Amino acid sequence: MAERILVVEDEQRIAQFIERGLIYEGYRVEVAYDGKTGLVAARDNPPDLVILDWMLPGVDGLEVCKRLRSASSVPILMLTAKDEVADRVTGLDAGADDYLVKPFSFDELMARVRALFRRATPSSKPEVLHFADLTLDTGTHRATRGERPIDLTAKEYELLELFMRNPRQVLTREVIFDRVWNYDFGGESNIIEVYVRYLRQKTESEGEGRLLHTVRGVGYVLREE
Ligand code: CA
């Protein structure tokens, strides 16, 4: 069965351009022209991926993103006319997995969509990775620290999986960029720092020791304290 994509975009011309292209590529598509309708659509018929415009009438894209994220880990690709790092960070804080800045070509959009699906779909046989008291199930994408379950977004999962497959190895920013964001995110972006911060917040609650360490000027390493 083809994957379902929910497109939330108020500009009809853009929405139709995306819809037609995605249908041509073999996806099932639902379009919502405002945030409220988008949220209802996502609740009634959970999509496999959401393409979400930032500037929407009524409930804006950021708010839609937050609400979607509070209920599911569906990959969210945000569309934005804004191209500032601060905006990206705001969107990432809201739980978006990726960004595309308008105007974009359909090929660019498809590259992002495929990348998000690739990350969301485990390609190899599921296994449970262990490091210290951290576990990560590559089949269900469930993470736990001790007995405590950890909720991860698609991108956070991918980053944690990369570290857990390479324990005690220093991963450079370049390697992380290449493996988790396998296209150029705009050079000076602080996206890795942002995601490492998210992972730390989620894996170090309630006084648990640090596992994800910064190696200054180089990158990061997963190791015992
Ligand atoms: Ca718009």
Categorize the per-residue pLDDT at 159 as very low, low, confident or very high, splitting at 50, 70 and 90: very high
Q: Residue 186 above 70 pLDDT?
A: no
128-222 CATH: 1.10.10.10
From the CA of 9, how far away is ligand 1's center (Å)? Answer: 6
pLDDT at 82: 66
Q: How far is the CA of 31 from the centre of ligand 1 (A)?
A: 13
How far, in Å, is the centroid of ligand 1 from the Cα of 101?
A: 12
CA–CA distances in Å: residue 82 to residues 38, 177, 192: 21, 22, 20
The share of the chain scoring above pLDDT 90, in percent, equals 60
Check residue 126 and give its pLDDT: 79
pLDDT at 121 over 70: no
Is residue 63 classed exposed, middle or buried when 0-12, 13-18 and 19+ CB atoms within 10 A define those classes?
middle
Cα→Cα distances 98→30, 59, 121, 156, 208, Å: 20, 20, 16, 12, 29
Choose among 57, 93, 92: nearest CA to 181. 92
Q: What is the mean pLDDT of residues 98-127?
A: 83
Q: Which two tokens stand for residue 48?
A: 């496999």
pLDDT averaged over the chain?
Answer: 88
How far, in Å, is the centroid of ligand 1 from the Cα of 38?
13
92 exposed, middle or buried (CB, 10 Å; 0-12, 13-18, 19+)?
A: buried
CA of 71 to the centre of ligand 1 (A): 23
Please say if the pLDDT value at position 85 is more than 80.
Answer: no
Spacing, Cα 14 to ligand 1 middle (Å) = 9
Whether 206 contacts 188, CB under 8 Å: no
pLDDT in tens, 18-75: 999 999 999 999 999 999 999 999 999 999 999 999 999 989 999 999 999 888 889 9
Question: How high is the pLDDT of residue 95?
Answer: 85
Is-contact 131 222, C-beta < 8 A? yes
- Would you say residue 161 has pLDDT above 80? yes
Rounded average pLDDT over 80-91: 71
Of residues 181 and 215, the one with the higher pLDDT is 215
Alpha-carbon distance of 20 to 33, in angstroms, equals 15
Map out the domains of the chain as residue ranges: 4-120, 128-222
Distance from the alpha carbon of residue 15 to the mean position of ligand 1, in angstroms:
10
Does the structure show a pLDDT above 90 at 187?
no
Q: In angstroms, what is the span from residue 105 Cα to ligand 1's centroid? A: 17
Cis peptide before 122 (omega within 30 of 0): no
pLDDT computed for residue 93 by the predictor: 76
Task: Tell me the CATH number for domain 4-120.
Answer: 3.40.50.2300
pLDDT of residue 160: 96
Tell me the residues surrounding ligand 1 (ion) with CB < 5 Å.
Answer: 10, 53, 55
Among 7, 51, 5, residue whose Cα is nearest residue 33: 7
Rg (CA), the chain: 18
Say how far apart CA 8 and CA 68 lie, in whole Å: 12
152 touches 140 (CB < 8 A): no
pLDDT exceeds cutoff 80 at 83: no
Taking CA atoms, 108 is separated from 6, 88, 97, 102, 167, in Å, by 18, 18, 15, 11, 33
